[in-house]
Amino acid sequence: MSFLSRSLDRVAPSPTVAVTQLARELALAGRDIIGLGAGEPDFDTPENIKAAAIAAIHAGKTKYTAPDGIPELKAAICEKFLRENGLSYAPSQVSVSTGGKQVLFNAALATLNPGDEVVIPAPYWVSYPDIVKLAGAEPVIVPAGSETGFKITPEALEAAITPGTKWFIFNSPSNPTGAGYSRTELQALTDVLMRHPHVWVMSDDMYEHLAYDGFEFCTPAEVEPGLMDRTLTVNGVSKAYAMTGWRIGYAAGPEELITAMRKVQSQSTTNPCSISQWAAVEALTGPQDFLAERNAAFARRRDLVVSALNEAPHLSCEVPQGAFYVYPSCGAAIGKTSAGGTLIADDETFARALLEEEGVAVVFGAAFGLSPHFRISYATSEDDLQEACRRIHRFCDGLR
C-alpha cells in the first residue's frame, strides 16, 4: 500500500511547472530565454504599500492575528466591496487568507463532500480542478472555446447542472484567456443559477482591476442580488497591486460559510501574515490612480502581442478584455514539422519546440483544459515582447 494519500493520486503534477523548469534549465545552460509563462505583473509593489508594511514591522504588528483577518483589513474590504461593486457586507461576512488560492481552498474544504460536483468552464485557471479533487469532489469541466469568446453559454451551464452540483466557479476577466463577461452575458448565467437554488457561485474576481478599452467589470452578486446568499465573492491584492509575494486574498459571502472557512484556516495556517495584512489595508485604502497608468501599459502590450501573433502564419488570436494573458490558437500548426525537426502533434509539443528552438517559454493549452492553444503572459517589457513575437513569427514561418 502506498504511503501517500489516495487524494494525491487524483491530482496531476502541474504541467506549468514542467515548462518553467525546462526554461530555467535552458537559461542556466546559457541560452537566451524569454519567459512569457509567469502569471504575475512585472511592476513593483507601490512604495506607499511597502512603507505601510515597514511601519507595521516597526510598530510591532508582528504577532498572530485573528484567523481570518485583522478588523482594520476587514473594514477596508467591506468598504472596497461597497465602493467598487455596490455590495454591502458586514465584517463577519469577510475572510482574509494567504492569497486568493487559500481562500478557494478553504471554501472547497469547508463545503465539499465526496461525490459533490463543481462546474468549471474550460479553459480554466490550472488550480480549480485540483483544489476540487483534493477536497474529494468532482470537477465537471464545460468547454468554452473561441467560438463563444472563451465564455460559457447559459445553455452549457444549464446542461452541466445536476442535483449533485454544489458550486459553479466563475472567473472574469479570466486566466488563461483574458475573456471578460459583459453585464448582459453574466445576467444570462445568473438567470440560469436563479432556477437552481442548490447551486452556489464562487466568483473569482482576481483580475477585476485589469480591464481595457472601457470594459465594465461586474460580479454575480452585484448583477443578481438574489444570489447574494449563495455567492462567495473572491478577490485579492496579488494582481492589481503587484503583491503576488505578499500572499493576501480575501472573500465575502454568507456568514455560515465564512465561519466554516475560518475553522479550516485556524487549523492550517492560523492566520495570513500580519505585516502583509497591514500592507493590504494600505493597498485598498490608499491612492488608486497608479492602476489606470499600469492598465494603459498593459493595454499597449496586449495590442502589440495580439497584432504580432495574428501576423504569424498558423496562429490566430482573439483580443481579450482583461487580465494580462492572451490565448492564441495553434490549431493550424498541428501536424506540421518545425525547422528543428519536431513534429507538432499537439499544443504541448508546439510549446516545447518553441522553447527549445527559439527560447520563448509559453504554457500549452492542455494545462488549462482547452487545446490547441497556448497562453502568453504579456506582463513583461515591450522590448522582450517584441523580441518574443519576432521569434514566434520565425518559428511559425519555419513550420512545414
For 377, the 3-state DSSP assignment is strand
Cα 94 from Cα 80, distance rounded (Å) = 12
- Asked if 277 interacts with ligand PLP (CB under 6 A), we say no
Dihedral sign, CA of 285, 288, 294, 295? positive
- Asked if 244 interacts with ligand PLP (CB under 6 A), we say yes
- Asked if 320 interacts with ligand PLP (CB under 6 A), we say no
Q: Which of 80, 101, 302, 375 binds ligand PLP (CB under 6 A)?
A: 101
Q: Interface residues for ligand PLP in 20-49 (CB under 6 A)?
A: 39
Stretch binding ligand PLP (CB under 6 A), from 24-32, 99-107, 148-156, 354-362: 99-107
Nearest residue to ligand PLP, by Cβ distance, number only: 99
Q: Write b or e for each residue in 330-348: b if 16 or more Cβ atoms lie within 10 A of its Cβ, otherwise e.
A: bbebbebebeeebebebbb
Half-sphere exposure of 38 (CA within 13 A, CB side): 15
Q: Residue type at 389?
A: C
- Asked if 208 interacts with ligand PLP (CB under 6 A), we say no
- Asked if 322 interacts with ligand PLP (CB under 6 A), we say no
Nearer Cβ to ligand PLP, position 250 or 395? 250
Q: Output the smallest distance, CB 396 to ligand PLP, in A.
A: 27
Q: Which of 85, 165, 172, 238 binds ligand PLP (CB under 6 A)?
A: 238
For 141, the 3-state DSSP assignment is strand
Q: Interface residues for ligand PLP in 123-152 (CB under 6 A)?
A: 125
Q: Output the smallest distance, CB 321 to ligand PLP, in A.
A: 14
Cα 368 from Cα 128, distance rounded (Å) = 10
Is 351:19 a contact under the CB 8 Å cutoff?
yes
Is 340:357 a contact under the CB 8 Å cutoff?
yes
242 Ramachandran zone, left/alpha/beta (phi>0; psi -120 to 50): left
Q: Which of 236, 320, 328, 369 binds ligand PLP (CB under 6 A)?
A: 236
- Asked if 265 interacts with ligand PLP (CB under 6 A), we say no
Q: Output the smallest distance, CB 377 to ligand PLP, in A.
A: 10
Question: Which residues pair with residue 366 across a beta bridge?
Answer: none
- Asked if 175 interacts with ligand PLP (CB under 6 A), we say yes
Q: Which of 141, 169, 206, 362 binds ligand PLP (CB under 6 A)?
A: 206
Nearer Cβ to ligand PLP, position 232 or 333? 232
- Asked if 249 interacts with ligand PLP (CB under 6 A), we say yes
- Asked if 204 interacts with ligand PLP (CB under 6 A), we say yes
Cell digits of residue 397: 514561418
Cα 40 from Cα 210, distance rounded (Å) = 12
Q: Which of 69, 100, 123, 178 binds ligand PLP (CB under 6 A)?
A: 100
Cα 232 from Cα 91, distance rounded (Å) = 14
- Asked if 365 interacts with ligand PLP (CB under 6 A), we say no
Nearest to 127 by CA among 186, 160, 171: 171
Phi then psi for 62, rounded to 5 degrees?
Answer: -125, 25
Dihedral sign, CA of 393, 317, 321, 159? negative
Which residues of this protein are in contact with ligand PLP, per CB under 6 A? Answer: 39, 99-101, 125, 171, 175, 204, 206, 236, 238, 244, 249
